[in-house]
Amino acid sequence: MDDGDPRDLRSVLAAWALVHELADEGWKAAVARGEAGPRDAPGPGAGAADGTSGAAAGATAGGTAAFVDAVAAQVHREKEALKARLAGTDASAASGGRVDGDAALEALRFEVAEVRTRLESIEATLDALHAHLTPDDEA
């Protein structure tokens, strides 16, 4: 997920959590449960990105409540990242415009390269046609 994307629900929730730093005890408890791994369940916020830490491997249960706790933990981490960016410690936040521009340029470069690949393929077919139409002594 791209950091700082205004359309990102997690970012929106993180911003809300930051503004309301006095988040209530219920919220904090949900974050703690999500960070530790849901009661029985693994959560997206429960472990490392590869899901290898947190609750006991393979344990799943808890339904919607477990999912909400895990999301709460994700939002908490997003909030900390947002705090860091606002504190000016995240240099990438300042160069966000540049990053977008680079991505657009890279996408365009790929489009061109893909067209070039197709043209080369057509050229190979034309070469083959030419070779077949040209008598051997001329070739």
Partner 1 sequence: MAGRGRAIAATALRTGARVAWRRGFGLRRGDAASRAAAREVRRGLERLGPAFVKLGQLASVRPDLVPADLAFELGALRDRVAPHPAPAIRAVVARELGAAPDALFASWDDAPVASASIAQVHAATLARPYRPAVGPVLPAGTKVAVKVVKPGVEAALAEDVALAYRVVRLAARLPAVARLDPAALVAEVEASVARELDLRVEARASLRFARFFRDDPRILVPSVVGRHTTRRVLVTTFVDGWRLSDLGAAERAGVDAHGLAVHGATAFLRQVLELGAFHADLHPANLLVTPDGRIAYLDFGIVGTTTAAEREAIAQLLVATAFGDADRAVRASRALGLALPPDREAPIRAAVDGLLRTHLTERHPADLRGFALGVLRLLQRERVPIPPGYGLLLKSLVTVEGVARALVPDVDVVRTAAPTASDVLLRTLSRPERLRARAPAAVRAAVRELLA
Q: Which of residues 55-94 bind partner 1 (CB under 8 A)?
A: 56-64, 66-67, 70-71, 74
Q: State in angstroms the smallest separation of the CB of 88 from partner 1.
A: 26
Residues 8-47, one symbol each (x = binds partner 1 by CB under 8 A, - = not), give xxx-x-------------------------x-xxxxx-xx
How far from 131 is each of 28, 60, 87, 120, 124, CA to CA, in Å?
Answer: 74, 64, 67, 16, 11
Nearer to partner 1, 49 or 87 (CB): 49
Q: Between the CA atoms of 46, 51, 56 and 59, what dihedral angle is there, to the nearest 10 degrees? A: 90
Distance of CA 19 to the CA centre of its chain: 24
Q: Which range in 81-89, 94-102, 106-114 contacts partner 1 by CB under 8 A?
A: 106-114
Q: Which of 50, 136, 137, 138 binds partner 1 (CB under 8 A)?
A: 50
Per CB under 8 A, does 123 bind partner 1?
yes
Q: Between the CA atoms of 10, 13, 17 and 23, what dihedral angle is there, to the nearest 10 degrees? A: -110
Q: State in angstroms the smallest separation of the CB of 58 from partner 1.
A: 4
Nearer to partner 1, 88 or 129 (CB): 129
Contact residues for partner 1, defined by CB under 8 A: 1, 7-10, 12, 38, 40-44, 46-47, 49-52, 56-64, 66-67, 70-71, 74, 110, 113-114, 116-121, 123-125, 127-132
